[in-house]
Amino acid sequence: MLKFYNTLSKKVENFTSINPPHVGMYTCGPTTYDFVHIGNLRTFIFEDILQRVLEISGYEIKRVMNITDIDDKIIKGAKEKGIGISEFSAPFERAFMMDLAKLNIKYANIFPKATEYVDHMIKYIEELIRKKLSYVEKDGSVYFDISKFPEYGKLSGLDKRELKSGTRILSDEYSKDDAQDFALWKSVQADEVGYNSPWGRGRPGWHIECSVMSQQYLGDTFDIHAGAVDLIFPHHENEIAQSEGKTGKKFVNFFMEGEHLLVGGQKMAKSAGNFYKLKDLEERNFDPLAFRYLCLTAHYRERLNFTWASLQAAQNALNNLREEIRGWNEEIGLSEQPKGSTDQFWQRFLDVANNDLNIPQAVAVVWEMVRSNTPTTSKYQTLLKMDKVLGLGLDKYLGKPIEVPANVSRLVTERESIRKSGDFKKSDKLRHKIKKLGYDIEDTPEGPRVKRI
Ligand SMILES: [Zn+2]
C-alpha cells in the first residue's frame, strides 16, 4: 500500500488517486532570475522520486511544473542589463533544463510559463472579485481578502490570531509574520513591465500563477501538489485560498513538501558564500549523479546537511556500486544454476519506498542485495527495476566489462594459469601486484572477475 505524509492532515495517509491509474501532480518550478541552487535541486529530486514510486505502483502521472518567468527580481535583473524579461530569463531556463537532465530528473509533461497565462490569471482574479473574496485598491492593485476565507491557515497551521486581515502585502517575498491580504495583481507605472487589465496596467502576483496553471491542466481538484517546505506558507496556503475560494471545491488531496538542504550546517545564502549550483559541483569534478545519490541517503522530510566530504562519500559509494555491478551476467551461464531469488529484496525495497518514500532504507536494501551471494543473473533484472525508482543510471554500468589496462590484464591471465597449476603462493604474489595497480580479482566459477578498487 502506498502511503505519503500529507501536510493537510499532518499524518501519513494511504494514497489513492481520484481517477486511477491517473495521477495529476503539480510541482512549483523555478523562478528564472538566476541558476537554481542545490537546495532547489534537492526538492526536484524528491519530486522525481515521488513520481517514480507512483509509476512503479502502476500509476500514470500527468505532471505540471511552472516556470515563473516574471517577478520582481527578474524585472530588476532585466532592467539592469537593459534587456527584456524573456531574454533575461532564457539562459536560466535552459540551464535549469540541463540540470534536470544531468540529475536524471524526468521532465514534467507540461512546463507552463507565467507570462503566457496572464489572460487566464486576469479572468481568474475577476471571478474572485465577483465572489467578493478580493478587492481592488485605489491604485489598481487587487488583493485577496483572507478574512473572507475562513479556512485560511489550514495548511500551515497558523493561529488565527496571527492573521492580520486588512493589512496588505505587495511584495513577492514575505515572512511568516506577514499573514495578511496578499496581492493577486500589482499595479505598475506606465514605463514598467506590465499588462493591461480591467484595473489598469499591472502584473500578476506570484501565488495566482500556480492556482491558474495547475487547474488549467489538472482540473479544479487534483491529486498531489509538491514543493519545498518553505512554500507551505505563504505560497501553498495562498494557492488553497485562491483555488478553493474560486471553485468551492477541495483544491488538492495531498500536499507534500520536502525539507531544506543545509550547507555546512547553515541555510544557503549568497552572503554566507555557501550558495552552490550544480556547475560548482561539476567544476570540482563531481558527477551530478553523486549529488543525486547524496539526496537519496536522507529522507525527504529530514534536513540534509551538504558538505564537500558528504558529497565525496556519496561519489565513492556510487563509484563502488558501479564497480560492483559490472560484469554481472544477464543470461544464465552454463556453470551457474538459478539458485536463490531476489524476490525478498524486491519486496523489501518496495515496502520501504512505498512507506512515505523511505529511500535511505531502499538504498540499504540495494546494497544488501548487491553484496549478497545470490547469483548475479538473478540480481540483474531486480537491480534494473530498483533503479527505475532511484534513477542512478545504473544500466550504463550493469553487466559492462570494466576497462582493464593491458598490463593488468596480462597479469590477470598469468595469475589464472598459475592458480590453475596449483601454485597458490605465486598466484597470491601476483594478486598483490595487481592490487598495487588498483585492481582486485574475484575468483568465480566463470573465471576471474576484475574489479577496480
Ligand atoms: Zn507554486
Task: Using the mean position of ligand 1's atoms as its centre, give its distance from the Cα of residue 215 in Å.
Answer: 12
Q: What does DSSP say about strands 180-187 and 202-204: parallel, antiparallel, or unpaired?
A: antiparallel
Task: Using the mean position of ligand 1's atoms as its centre, give its distance from the Cα of residue 410 in Å.
Answer: 59
Mean pLDDT of 373-385: 90
Average pLDDT over the chain, rounded to an integer: 91
Binned at pLDDT 50, 70 and 90, residue 171 comes out as low
Binned at pLDDT 50, 70 and 90, residue 203 comes out as very high
Task: Using the mean position of ligand 1's atoms as its centre, give its distance from the Cα of residue 231 in Å.
Answer: 8
End-to-end, the C-alpha distance of the chain in Å comes to 40
Task: Using the mean position of ligand 1's atoms as its centre, give its distance from the Cα of residue 45 in Å.
Answer: 17
Task: Using the mean position of ligand 1's atoms as its centre, give its distance from the Cα of residue 26 in Å.
Answer: 8
Binned at pLDDT 50, 70 and 90, residue 271 comes out as confident
Task: Using the mean position of ligand 1's atoms as its centre, give its distance from the Cα of residue 288 in Å.
Answer: 26
Task: Using the mean position of ligand 1's atoms as its centre, give its distance from the Cα of residue 239 in Å.
Answer: 8
Task: Using the mean position of ligand 1's atoms as its centre, give its distance from the Cα of residue 59 in Å.
Answer: 23
Three-state secondary-structure class, residue 225: strand
Tell me what percent of the residues of the chain surpass a pLDDT of 70.
93
Task: Using the mean position of ligand 1's atoms as its centre, give its distance from the Cα of residue 182 in Å.
Answer: 15
Binned at pLDDT 50, 70 and 90, residue 164 comes out as low
Residue 293 or 171, more confident: 293
144-155 confidence digits (pLDDT tens)? 999 899 999 899
- Tell me how far CA of residue 45 lies from CA of 131, 250, 300, in angstroms: 39, 27, 9
Task: Using the mean position of ligand 1's atoms as its centre, give its distance from the Cα of residue 199 in Å.
Answer: 24
101-116 confidence digits (pLDDT tens)? 999 999 999 999 999 9
Task: Using the mean position of ligand 1's atoms as its centre, give its distance from the Cα of residue 50 in Å.
Answer: 17
Mean pLDDT of 120-130: 98
Task: Using the mean position of ligand 1's atoms as its centre, give its distance from the Cα of residue 198 in Å.
Answer: 25
Task: Using the mean position of ligand 1's atoms as its centre, give its distance from the Cα of residue 188 in Å.
Answer: 22
Report angle CA 264, 267, 272 to the nearest 5 degrees.
75
Task: Using the mean position of ligand 1's atoms as its centre, give its distance from the Cα of residue 213 in Å.
Answer: 9
Q: Is 19 left (phi over 0), alpha (psi -120 to 50) or beta?
A: beta
Whether the per-residue pLDDT at 331 is higher than 90: the answer is: no
Separation CA 99–CA 101 (nearest Å): 5
Task: Using the mean position of ligand 1's atoms as its centre, give its distance from the Cα of residue 232 in Å.
Answer: 10
Of 21-25, 373-377, 448-452, the one with minimum mean pLDDT is: 448-452
Task: Using the mean position of ligand 1's atoms as its centre, give its distance from the Cα of residue 107 in Å.
Answer: 17
pTM of the model: 0.88
Task: Using the mean position of ligand 1's atoms as its centre, give its distance from the Cα of residue 28 in Å.
Answer: 4
Three-state secondary-structure class, residue 126: helix
Task: Using the mean position of ligand 1's atoms as its centre, give its distance from the Cα of residue 422 in Å.
Answer: 69
Q: Provide the 8-state DSSP code for 83.
A: S
Task: Using the mean position of ligand 1's atoms as its centre, give its distance from the Cα of residue 204 in Å.
Answer: 13
Residue 177, pLDDT score: 47
Number of H helices, E strands in the chain: 14, 16
Task: Using the mean position of ligand 1's atoms as its centre, give its distance from the Cα of residue 187 in Å.
Answer: 21
And the C-alpha cell for 1? 500500500
367-372 long-range contacts (CB < 8 A, ≥24 apart) are 367/321, 369/342, 369/345, 370/321, 370/324, 370/325, 371/324, 372/340, 372/345
Q: Is 341 left (phi over 0), alpha (psi -120 to 50) or beta?
A: beta
